[in-house]
Amino acid sequence: MESVIQLKKELEKISNPTQAEKLQRFFKTGKREYGAGDIFLGIKVPDQRKISSNYQNLSLKEIGQLLDSKIHEHRLTALFILIKKYEKADDKEKNKIFDFYLKQTKNINNWDLVDVSAPKIVGDYLVTRPKKILYKLAKSKNLWEKRIAVLSCYAFIKNNDFSDTLKISKILIKDKYDLIHKAVGWMLREIGKRNQKIEEEFLKKHCDQMPRVMLRYAIEKFDENKRKFYLKKL
């Protein structure tokens, strides 16, 4: 418990109210916005990473206490610690961290928190395992669980395994959230960087159903003529 208190004190010491105000706007923390209620201290990410390196011995219970905080930097720093613990863990401990993470999805509730952690924990764990949980998350009513499902696929894409990404993209193709449109488009673009033929096979079947922002993200690396070709199909 003492370590958690000390970590919070360290973060508080370098808080920046001016930066915090900017982050409150950037991460859409107003009423009815996706980050409603999130509170920022205004600390740069490299500083959080640096502080997190001094608290690698925190237990999962203590990390959970940080994730329960309303303060964004407490939760992000907790995830930096959790990622490092996962990377150093044996298979048994990785399983515990994976299960712990999935029980904490209510606290992994902004896009940066998802993006930094889902590929490195959920995605990495599932690379050689059944991926049924991702389909459950993709069909969740919770925005962040859906984004976890999408971003976890990044780990598979890096291994040139695209099948689950394409299936989950299809599930979410008409999702109502802009942050899901962007995430799906991003993952499709990552597939295209490795195998443009496979990405285009998907696009030719589904581009006319895609929200414009999803398609724009997906085709960002295409040449101008090809981008125009797909955009005309909307």
SS3 of 52-113: the string is HHHHCCCCHHHHHHHHCCCEHHHHHHHHHHHHHHHHHCCHHHHHHHHHHHHHCHHHCCCHHH
CA 57-118-144 angle, 5° bins: 115
Map out the domains of the chain as residue ranges: 1-105, 118-234
Check if CATH label 2.60.40.790 holds for domain 118-234.
no
CA 88/CA 108 separation, integer angstroms = 21
At residue 102, the pLDDT reads 98
**Does 1-105 match 118-234 in CATH topology?**
yes
pLDDT greater than 90 at residue 232: no
At residue 100, the pLDDT reads 98
Mean pLDDT of 120-147: 97
Mean pLDDT of 45-68: 96
Matching residue, tokens 């010491």: 13
233 vs 132, more confident: 132
CA 10/CA 4 separation, integer angstroms = 10
At residue 31, the pLDDT reads 87
CB 173 within 8 A of CB 209: yes
CB 55 within 8 A of CB 49: no
Nearest Cα residue to 115 out of 220, 186, 41: 186
CA 188/CA 162 separation, integer angstroms = 9
Q: For the chain, how big is the Rg over CA atoms in Å?
A: 19
DSSP bridge partners of 71: 39
* pLDDT digits 0-9 by tens, 1-56: 569 999 999 999 999 999 999 999 999 998 888 999 999 999 999 999 999 999 99
pLDDT greater than 60 at residue 191: yes
Confidence (pTM) = 0.95
At residue 2, the pLDDT reads 61
Nearest Cα residue to 155 out of 199, 189, 125: 125
* pLDDT digits 0-9 by tens, 71-89: 999 999 999 999 999 999 9
Matching residue, tokens 């459950």: 136
Matching residue, tokens 């999803």: 214
For domain 1-105, give the CATH number.
Answer: 1.25.10.90
